[in-house]
Structure 1
Amino acid sequence: MTGTNSNTSDPRPRKPARWLRNLGVNAARYARQVESTAQSMFAGALPMHNMFTPTPTNPLLGVKMPSAETIVLNPLMRRRSFSVDGTGLPFDRVGWVQMPGLRRFALGYFTSHGRFGTLAMADDTGAVYMTGDLYANLDVREPDLELDVTDSLVTDDDSRFGGTKPAHIATVEGSARALVGDIQGRDGNGRMAWLAGFLKSANRYTIENARAELPARLRTDLEYRDLMAVCFFHLYLAVSVNGGLQGYGAGNIISNFRRFSPLAAIRTSVAQTDTARAHRMRVSGLEEYFADTMRRIGVMGDLSELEADHGREPLYMIESSVSHARFLVWEKRMPYDAMLTSLKLEGAVNRFLLIDKWLDYNAAHSEQPIEDTVTFKQVARIDRRLLRNPSLSALPPTHPVHILDDPECFRVDDYLHFGRGMSLSASLDASQAGVAVDVRHLAGSEWIYRHALANAVNALWLPFRFDTDFRSNLQQGEVSFAFTSASRTLMPDELINMRSGAMTELDEAERSRISAEYNLQIGLIFASLAFGASEQVRCVSLRMDSLGLEEAVYERDNAIKTLMDNAMTQISDLTNLEDFTAHAGQGRFGERGSALFSDPEETSGVGDDEHDGVQTQDMQADTDFDRELRDLLEHDGSTSSDETTMHHAESEDDTVQSLLNVDEEFDRLRNSNPSIKHLLTVTFTRDEFIDYMHANSCADPFAVYDAFGAQYDYDGTEGFRPVEPSFSMDETRFTGDAAYTIPERRDRPLDATVARSLGAHNVRDLSISREELFRGTLELIADTAKNDNLRADRKATYAMNLIEECGDPELRGHATEITTAIIDGTPIPQITSTVERALADARRKSQEMVFSGDEEGAIVNMERVIGELDEMFESDGVVPHYFTSYTDRVVYNRLFAMPDERIALVPDALFQAHLDMGEVLFRYDRGEEAMTHLNTLVRYAPATAGVHIQQAIRLCASEDWNSVRAAALNALRVACDPVDAANAYYYFACASWMKGDTAVAVAAGNLATSLTQNLAPAQRAELERFRNLAMAQGEQIAQTGVQTVGVLMRHDVPVWPQVECAQIIRDAAFTATNEKIFPVAQALNVSWYALQGGNLGPGGMQFLRSLNA
């Protein structure tokens, strides 16, 4: 139809017009020509250069700089330049040049006549390499400057992006979303140093915390290549020229701590701050405060005992993996004054880091001030606030805390919630480990509570080091908690006056008050955590202790001064030439002559004078220290110089010995340990404590303790004085009845759930020591005999049951005597074991035979006695067994014990006798007889991995490889320690190799070497030989951990720690802790930690400590 518009009526798409297709072809051809021309022009702009030839370098103003490679610029090269006036760099204009066809770009300086001198190359991954070679292979080089993304944030703080939020900034609900990173540069020693931070949002960058003073156009809204150029020239080269490479503020100080020893790091940081200020670079208020604090401690002077010796400082710094607090640790003993100095230094470092953490929190949550804006006075105010109220910084805040505006707010809810969170975390750990958590243990589990409180305490970041210990009895809702205080010596010498704003020197009374308030606040934190970790805790009894370091230093200094004064007096007399020559002829003869020919009274007088002096007998007498000091003072006041001179002339050797004794006493005084002193005790009740903390601001922590009747003695100048504590940490109300008593001395039935977990119907079924069980049974019988509330027949029945359950043959032999004595009301006879004496006599007789040449008779004698004792312990249907730990006993109960089995514990002496006889017989090449003793050991201790490993070792000598594999597998079945497991895998690998199972041997060897570093070098070499031989034969062997596990599992070899005893130990550790059988619980929990990799951590160590008596 005419007039119809085909464009609208025809549904088929039209083909592109020919002219449009030709246009595209021409455009592509033109683009290829432009690229070819550009590459030609670029190649012509560069000199000929071999990319494999090392680039020569030349020093530029103390910075190792590459020889610049000159580029002739052309219009196709993108570039950007900016001025570096005032930086000290010998360039007018610097910047970057992007060459066509390369992803990297050059950094350098612009010259006249359109040329560019290349100093470094930057790639697109945030790395800069100092080389003038445009074709350098950067993959084989280490970057000299690099960017590292560390975090991300969402912030409303527009000032961090230059004052206003640019339209291109990525936003989330109106807030800027950015990546946070570090800028690092390589120093002259080849180590990376922190220089500044950066933000990245929507491919635009902002530089933060830069040492150089940068205008806004070089600091914010930067494109990537501009950022790299500014970092290279302003943050790297210019800073290096002006006093050496360094970063800005806290980041620079923390970087120094990671690179240097503690004192060197502090001194370097202070020197860099001074250098930056001298070169008019930026210095933050925080680093100014850090430098001022360190100067007042005296770090910039001579610290004698803390100085480096042959380049090695006695102190080194470690960082807690949980709280991130820093600790200064010394490897060998130091004098107390040096210890106090190091602890004060440690406290100052942590105070600085806590302020930095708070400023970082502000920066992440759009709060002010941040380090870029904070002043010296603001830092000083923050330090004072955090010191007077450590609850503000001990845990990361869950919401913004305005320290400068509301300093007295105690964050009690935060600590209650944190303790509760730790309890949930411990419950989750138990469930993930496969522990069968009983319903009744969910709310009142001692295992969960103690782990929660231990982890919570060790997550605190406090400025001063502390030590803690606690006990808990959730059944009664009681907790006791002890902690060490921070003394006034550790407090700062100067703090800001909040009214005048000036730094004020503190006197002893003010430092004592600050120390007291700080320690009281710490106690409130611990109480809050103890309440928060379990709703069942109704009372927390708190005890504050002092290690007595200050007192020890004061007393010791006085004592040492007295001793040294006396020593110097004697040295002065010895070095008096006139007196010395006048009496030099007497010597020992003069001493003898005065004794033989002088007046008896004079002789007696000399003897008395010698008795009154400080002689060897007096110095080594077993008297108390105060008496020694009193004697010293009396001697100094009663002896004249003439008498002393005559005394020395008569006994020169005794004088020298006396001086040596003074030196020995000096060492004894310095090396003795201070005693712990109790300073305060208080009991907080749950509801009253929480209500009081909510109602009061805690401006006066003394008032909190007074409200709960705390017992303490506080002096305004001296601080807290020692007091008699109102409770003991190990009282039954805090621990439960007999919780720390070993099973051998307890008689307590266990319910069915606990019995299934521990494999025991009574606590006594967990006994491991025959000697302790022997004495414990007699003690229980004696206690029962004294019970007037029981009839004699019941006492006798109870005693007989104890003896039968014990299974000990010697006790069973005296059963009639014991029960008869109980029924008759006569004293129970004194019974002692004769096994050890019999073995000792046999050893003595065998030794005499050996000395007389009858070695065979000696062996026969020992074999006879050992055989008789074996028969004795196997009589009347009892099964003899030996256990090295409570873990072994639980594993045996669950894996090996038969129903209603009666066990007789084998004495240590008998077990050792079998071990010794096996060793002797092996030395005499009597392998079969020796194996008999080893087999007996295995029969006695089937749950002890070491016995099976010993058996495997001996079987290797006889090349019985099937038996070696069996022994190694038996060891793996019960191994709860990585060293035992590694040794078992080693012998299994040897046996497998000899049997031709190459893949299994190599896999077992891989696991053995990965479990521990304690394998012997010869063992490691043997396993490596297996591997090399297998590879030389083209065998397919396990190369990775996954492959290793796969090979072992396919051949039914246990993969440690997923062995048969693992789940048993986990369940039993949980149960024993909840049942308050703490000696057993401690052993099981140690084994559990070993199965988890052996990394206890501070929380694990604190937990185990709570299980100690």
Structure 2
Amino acid sequence: MAQFRSPIRRVLTSSVVVLAVVAVVGIVRALTLGSVAWALVAIAACVAAALVGVFAATLGAGSQEEQSGATDVTAAQTAAATRKDQAPAGEKDATPSAAAKAEAQSNDALAAQAPRSSHPDDNADATEAADATDVAEPATQTVEVVPAESSPQAPAESQLDFESVAQRLQASADPMDELKLVVGDIRTRMAQVDGESGSQAQATLSPSGIERFFARVLVEAGLFEKDVKLPRIAVTRSSRTGTLRLRVQDEQLSYLARLRVLKLEAALAAAQRACAYFEDPQSATVEDCYRLMQSLANSICAQSAPIDQPLDLEAGEVPDGEWAVRRSIATAIESLQLPYRLEQHFRTNVADGNVVFQVALTPEQVFPSSMYVDGIGLVHSSREMRRKVASAYAQRLAILLAATAFRSSRRIKHAWVVGTVDNATTHRCYLCVDFDRWRFARLDLAHVDDLRRAMRPFVPNMRVEDGILRPVEQTADLDEARFSPAWRFMPVELSSRRLPKEAAAALGTQSVSGLGIEEASDRQIVAGNILLHLADAGEKDATQRNVRTVLDFTRDDPDPTVRDAGERLVKSMVSGTSPTDPEAIGHELVFGDPLSRAAERGRDLLSKRDAAGAVAVLEPVLDHLDRTGAYADGKGVVWRYFGSYVDRALYNRKYASDGRALLLAPDSYFAALFYASVAQVMLHHPQRALTHARRLVELAPLDNHAVLQLVRCLEECGSMDEAQEVLTGFLRDAHDPESIGLGYYRMASFMWNKGNLLAAQACYQSAISFMPSITPIVVMEVAGLQQPQVTQVAGTDAQDAQDAQSPADDASGDAGEKDDAPDAQAPADAQSAQVLGSPAQQGAIRPLTQPLSQEEIEATLGYHDIPVAPTPQVSQTVMECTRASVDAEVFPVARNFVNVLAAFDQDDVTLDVMDSLGSEPDQ
């Protein structure tokens, strides 16, 4: 275990530093608060730091003694045998000095066993890589034969436990360093056995062929190279295939770094499959592993069943529907066993029988730097060899994806596959194939050996020269109307389409317009048309021409708000008060009414904490609307506001069965009510604030901002029981992670205030699980509540608490959600902090250090009649609406629902379906 002592000492040293910091904090708290508890904490930290420091020093002394005694060969062999008996599974027992020495000579001693990945072909700059496919190839190919590896004197026995290595990589903050330790151990033993480092007599175990292969492919992939700076990487594992994946955590990634990451990931995948394939890892040779890797790449099509065997449907899916086809394709893609990362996008148009894939082909630089050649053995792969292999792999991948599309539905008649390579400077297409179902059914997917013969019937748009794909013109695109019809993205409010019977039942409306949420959609469309015809301000008679343009587009519109907006804009143009910038003119047309201006002004004043000014601006406008009865419900009509398409569909399912027509209230009306309520709370007028909050919930019963503001106002008025009842109903209907997280966070304050600390802990843990960003606030809040002298959270914590209750910053821009949530810039003041003192004052405090299990959380919540959100009913309703909106091809609504599913679970299949919906094509 000597090689682990240095890392252990570093860990112990870090622990000493942490304990010292804790001791200092304890001393300061003890002096400032006069707390005996903090004094005891400080003393304990000091004692622990001293003990850990002594242990680290002892460990360091032991390491020095072991290094000084390393010259005694007999003692070294005995120590090695002892370490072999004690080493955990999957860990290597090379000494630190040997591992360091092996890493230092990675370019010299192991050149024969593991050729460097800094081959001139691999280290080409971005420009050279971009033009790789256009370089003329020599007429003859020189093959460099790798010298045969010497027969090890020590017995070969594999010490590689790939599962253990995978777990360590997933848990490591720096998985590449962890991987270097594993490879370094193998290379150390290779150097000893092969007589390249020290004496062969020192070797106790010879690395097996799989271990040598593991080290070789990773060295060739550039694991130890420093010519390219690698990004921050996290190792994850596919839940479907078990394959390790390298997730880049940096926002930007250079092209050469991307190639390095892809090659390292492919090397890990090759090693993983070799470890899983060979029943006797001791007998497998390096050549066997390379033959296996090449065989798998040449037989990827064999994993697909014939296209007349459809993919499985899930419960509730409509056969041959858009949702079922997209979900089936995404599931099949994520379940493919491939040697290289698959990066693709797809679109479906089931009604027309079309599916298209656009695939980022694997660059030739990612393919192995060594290959096995029959009759010769292992050789360093040349650029031409890699390009041929990459070209063949691209064609087989196209066939495999087409088979996946055809198996998703019998209605799919054509599957296009577009293969492209994007490097640092260029975008190039290398194949574009229209596979038709009739000809494709004749292919034997288990034996796709003759690629030329397999592809010829489909007349592919590709150019193959000497087995290498050359760039061609791209003749298909994801956004074409045959794959993504533009009407799918038409504004919901302006659609005249009727929904199919099944979709209408799931979405609670007979027409697509019944899912609308944008009251200003008509004005926005008209404004866009006007902007296309406006004359420049410097042109002759510009004002007269622009007035005529505005009147032409607005005076005969059936929407009265459009006519009013046009008249208002014309008056400002004539008087010279209208803006001259085209975008400002469009904004004036859409949001230039007095209510919108008042709401915008109120928001600005609240952001400056001028509550009195906000009230002075907002209250007169709201009073006028109340007196005139604007937006008041009547016998045959109701006015409602919705922040998202999900809210609208769920409202339809729950409330819209009374037969009354629903009209959309302006966003500015909702915003004005919200800002007025917040301002009244700041001015300590809780009853006035409560009046506005009740109107908010009447206007938007499913909106989280409205309901949480009502809870806050009820607390301010002292109606704690009613506030808790409202919050309980809110959790029962909550359908997205942010709403659920905020609901549990607020419920925790009620439980704590009542002395139900276990329930409070369950709520806090639930809030954190659904909304991790709230964790620092919860930690500080609980820490403050557990101090007897503290009766409310400090002002900075209260600021964070309000920010946590305002998810607009996190949710803005999400598909189907309005990005102008009214509380995005509302002033921050404590929501729960002001009422969380009584348990501490009563002394009913216990440390909340032991986390509850999920079963304990659910049992605790149920005992206190707190819903476990999302409830099964809500989850089922959301899933039904998701499928219905995708099948009905109402994509603005569908994107919003799929986005909610992805927020709960970042499953690759859900993300692929989300990506397949695309965005509105450019017109």
Q: What range describes the TM-score normalised by the shorter chain of this pair?
A: 0.5 to 0.7
Report the Cα offset of residue 1102 of structure 1. Answer: 0.7
Report the Cα offset of residue 722 of structure 1. Answer: 4.1
Relative contact order, CA 8 A, sep 6+: which one is greater?
2
Aligned partners of 1:847, 1:1038: CA distance in 2, in Å? Answer: 40
TM score, norm. by length of structure 1: 0.54
Paired AA for residue 679 in structure 1: Y
- Other-structure match for 2:302: 411
- Other-structure match for 1:1073: 886
Instruction: State which of 1086, 1092, 1100 in structure 1 corresponds to 2:899.
Output: 1086
Q: Where do residues 37-116 of structure 1 align in structure 2 (5 Å cutoff)?
A: 89-90=77-78
- Other-structure match for 2:874: 1061
Aligned partners of 2:167, 2:749: CA distance in 1, in Å? Answer: 48
Aligned partners of 2:565, 2:864: CA distance in 1, in Å? Answer: 53
- Other-structure match for 2:387: 512
Paired AA for residue 680 in structure 1: L
Q: Where do residues 596-635 of structure 1 align in structure 2 (5 Å cutoff)?
A: none
Aligned partners of 1:1043, 1:849: CA distance in 2, in Å? Answer: 46
- Other-structure match for 2:273: 354
Structure ID, larger Rg? 1
Q: Where do residues 149-164 of structure 1 align in structure 2 (5 Å cutoff)?
A: none
Report the Cα offset of residue 962 of structure 1. Answer: 2.0
Contact 2:356 2:417 in 1 (8 A): yes
Contact 1:882 1:906 in 2 (8 A): yes
- Other-structure match for 1:885: 644
- Other-structure match for 2:324: 448
Q: Does 2:258 match 1:339?
A: yes
- Other-structure match for 1:24: none
- Other-structure match for 1:5: none
Q: Deviations over 1:984-1033 (max 9, x none)?
A: 23333433555677776565556445544333545456567599979769
Q: Does 2:231 match 1:319?
A: no
In structure 2, relative to structure 1, the CA distance for the partners of 1:380 and 1:1007 (3 Å cut) is closer
SS in 2 for 1:683: strand
Aligned partners of 2:663, 2:94: CA distance in 1, in Å? Answer: 69
Q: Deviations over 1:422-478 (max 9, x none)?
A: x42x51xxx3xxx5x5xxx2x223222222211211122323222111122333332
- Other-structure match for 1:273: 190
Structure 1 unaligned segments of length 5 or more: list them: 1-53, 65-84, 95-118, 121-127, 131-143, 147-181, 190-241, 307-312, 364-369, 392-409, 553-674, 781-798, 817-829
Q: Does 2:360 match 1:484?
A: yes
- Other-structure match for 1:768: 517
- Other-structure match for 2:159: 247
SS in 2 for 1:942: coil
Report the Cα offset of residue 893 of structure 1. Answer: 0.9
Report the Cα offset of residue 764 of structure 1. Answer: 0.6
Paired AA for residue 247 in structure 1: Q
Report the Cα offset of residue 883 of structure 1. Answer: 1.2
Q: Does 2:691 match 1:935?
A: no
Q: Does 2:675 match 1:916?
A: yes
- Other-structure match for 2:141: none
Instruction: State which of 278, 283, 303 in structure 2 corresponds to 1:373.
Output: 283
Q: Where do residues 681-692 of structure 1 align in structure 2 (5 Å cutoff)?
A: 681-692=432-443
In structure 2, relative to structure 1, the CA distance for the partners of 1:747 and 1:814 (3 Å cut) is farther
Instruction: State which of 909, 917, 920 in structure 2 corresponds to 1:1107.
Output: 917
SS in 2 for 1:471: strand
Contact 2:523 2:590 in 1 (8 A): no
Aligned partners of 1:1101, 1:690: CA distance in 2, in Å? Answer: 30
In structure 2, relative to structure 1, the CA distance for the partners of 1:997 and 1:1060 (3 Å cut) is farther
- Other-structure match for 1:699: 449
Instruction: State which of 284, 287, 301 in structure 1 corresponds to 2:208.
Output: 284
Aligned residues: 686
Aligned partners of 2:611, 2:372: CA distance in 1, in Å? Answer: 84
- Other-structure match for 1:210: none
Q: Where do residues 480-629 of structure 1 align in structure 2 (5 Å cutoff)?
A: 480-498=356-374, 500-549=375-424, 552=425
In structure 2, relative to structure 1, the CA distance for the partners of 1:1086 and 1:487 (3 Å cut) is same
Paired AA for residue 545 in structure 1: T
Structure 2 unaligned segments of length 5 or more: list them: 1-54, 68-72, 97-153, 196-202, 530-552, 568-585, 787-835
Report the Cα offset of residue 718 of structure 1. Answer: 7.5
In structure 2, relative to structure 1, the CA distance for the partners of 1:990 and 1:90 (3 Å cut) is closer
SS in 2 for 1:734: coil
Contact 2:499 2:888 in 1 (8 A): no
Report the Cα offset of residue 536 of structure 1. Answer: 3.1
- Other-structure match for 2:458: 708
Paired AA for residue 1053 in structure 1: I
In structure 2, relative to structure 1, the CA distance for the partners of 1:415 and 1:913 (3 Å cut) is farther
Q: Does 2:473 match 1:723?
A: yes
SS in 2 for 1:305: coil
In structure 2, relative to structure 1, the CA distance for the partners of 1:777 and 1:997 (3 Å cut) is farther
Report the Cα offset of residue 898 of structure 1. Answer: 4.3
- Other-structure match for 1:612: none
In structure 2, relative to structure 1, the CA distance for the partners of 1:1032 and 1:508 (3 Å cut) is closer
Instruction: State which of 491, 498, 507 in structure 2 corresponds to 1:758.
Output: 507
SS in 2 for 1:318: strand
Aligned partners of 1:509, 1:1105: CA distance in 2, in Å? Answer: 35
Aligned partners of 1:316, 1:831: CA distance in 2, in Å? Answer: 44
Aligned partners of 1:305, 1:832: CA distance in 2, in Å? Answer: 50
SS in 1 for 2:442: helix
SS in 1 for 2:502: helix
Paired AA for residue 453 in structure 1: I
In structure 2, relative to structure 1, the CA distance for the partners of 1:929 and 1:372 (3 Å cut) is same
Paired AA for residue 274 in structure 1: A
SS in 1 for 2:229: helix
In structure 2, relative to structure 1, the CA distance for the partners of 1:501 and 1:874 (3 Å cut) is same
In structure 2, relative to structure 1, the CA distance for the partners of 1:537 and 1:295 (3 Å cut) is same
- Other-structure match for 2:739: 980
Aligned partners of 1:1040, 1:380: CA distance in 2, in Å? Answer: 46
Q: Does 2:703 match 1:944?
A: yes
Report the Cα offset of residue 252 of structure 1. Answer: 8.3
In structure 2, relative to structure 1, the CA distance for the partners of 1:62 and 1:1083 (3 Å cut) is farther
In structure 2, relative to structure 1, the CA distance for the partners of 1:863 and 1:520 (3 Å cut) is same
Aligned partners of 1:324, 1:1057: CA distance in 2, in Å? Answer: 29
Larger strand proportion of the pair: 1
Aligned partners of 2:351, 2:328: CA distance in 1, in Å? Answer: 17
Percent identity, aligned pairs only, is 20
SS in 1 for 2:505: helix
Contact 1:412 1:693 in 2 (8 A): no
Q: Does 2:624 match 1:862?
A: no
Paired AA for residue 1107 in structure 1: L
Contact 1:878 1:904 in 2 (8 A): yes
Report the Cα offset of residue 981 of structure 1. Answer: 1.8
Paired AA for residue 723 in structure 1: E
Contact 2:158 2:211 in 1 (8 A): no
SS in 1 for 2:396: helix
Paired AA for residue 511 in structure 1: R
Contact 1:249 1:286 in 2 (8 A): no
In structure 2, relative to structure 1, the CA distance for the partners of 1:63 and 1:540 (3 Å cut) is farther
Contact 1:979 1:1015 in 2 (8 A): no
Q: Deviations over 1:806-839 (max 9, x none)?
A: xx652597999xxxxxxxxxxxxx9985654424
Aligned partners of 1:1061, 1:385: CA distance in 2, in Å? Answer: 48
In structure 2, relative to structure 1, the CA distance for the partners of 1:690 and 1:358 (3 Å cut) is farther
Report the Cα offset of residue 980 of structure 1. Answer: 1.9
Aligned partners of 1:715, 1:1030: CA distance in 2, in Å? Answer: 83
Paired AA for residue 618 in structure 2: M
Q: Deviations over 1:473-505 (max 9, x none)?
A: 33333222221101122223332222x323334
In structure 2, relative to structure 1, the CA distance for the partners of 1:1087 and 1:843 (3 Å cut) is closer
Aligned partners of 1:858, 1:1003: CA distance in 2, in Å? Answer: 38
Contact 2:520 2:590 in 1 (8 A): no
- Other-structure match for 1:262: 176
SS in 2 for 1:444: coil
